[in-house]
């Protein structure tokens, strides 16, 4: 199963408020049939598109209208596939691809954001994005 989720605040907890004061939430979107959802298929550009799709599906996150200049911060996909990246003790997921970008929100504000591809204890991959603090 592939899960797409997002939180507009700075943590992966859906209870923290967004920097603009809007409520945050997690959104789950089922994969589209026939679309590749392997972690190998992900780039920062693809994560940026997923983040926009998440925002379009769940307006309570705060509408992310555009994502500019996505860039790799950390890429652990090959190491994860080789079994060299484990979920840290006490955690429920590990980030396998981390990107930074500039996001334009419906308020017209451009804010630095982080976008991550994470894998959980069940091996499910999901996309997270949040405002960088």
Between 37 and 60, the more confident residue is: 60
The domain containing residue 15 runs over which residues? 1-133
Average per-residue pLDDT for the chain: 76
- Please, which residues have CB within 8 angstroms of residue 94's CB and are 6 or more apart in sequence? 76, 80, 85, 86, 87, 88, 118, 119
Please state the domain count of the chain. Answer: 1
Does residue 72 surpass a pLDDT of 60? yes
Global pTM value: 0.72
Does residue 9 surpass a pLDDT of 90? no
At 79-120, the pLDDT tens digits run: 998 989 989 999 999 999 999 999 999 889 999 999 999 999
């Amino acid at each position: 199963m592939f899960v797409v989720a997002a939180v507009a605040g700075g943590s992966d907890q859906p209870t923290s408020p967004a920097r603009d004061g809007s409520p945050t939430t997690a959104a789950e979107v089922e994969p589209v049939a026939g679309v590749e959802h392997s972690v190998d298929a992900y780039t920062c550009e693809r994560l940026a598109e997923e983040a926009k799709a998440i925002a379009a599906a769940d307006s309570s996150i705060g509408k992310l209208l555009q994502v500019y200049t996505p860039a790799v911060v950390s890429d652990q996909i090959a190491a994860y596939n080789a079994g060299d990246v484990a979920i840290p003790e006490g955690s429920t997921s590990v980030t396998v691809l981390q990107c930074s970008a500039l996001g334009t929100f419906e308020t017209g504000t451009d804010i630095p954001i982080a976008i991550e591809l994470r894998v959980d204890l069940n091996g499910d991959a999901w996309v997270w994005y949040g405002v960088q603090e």
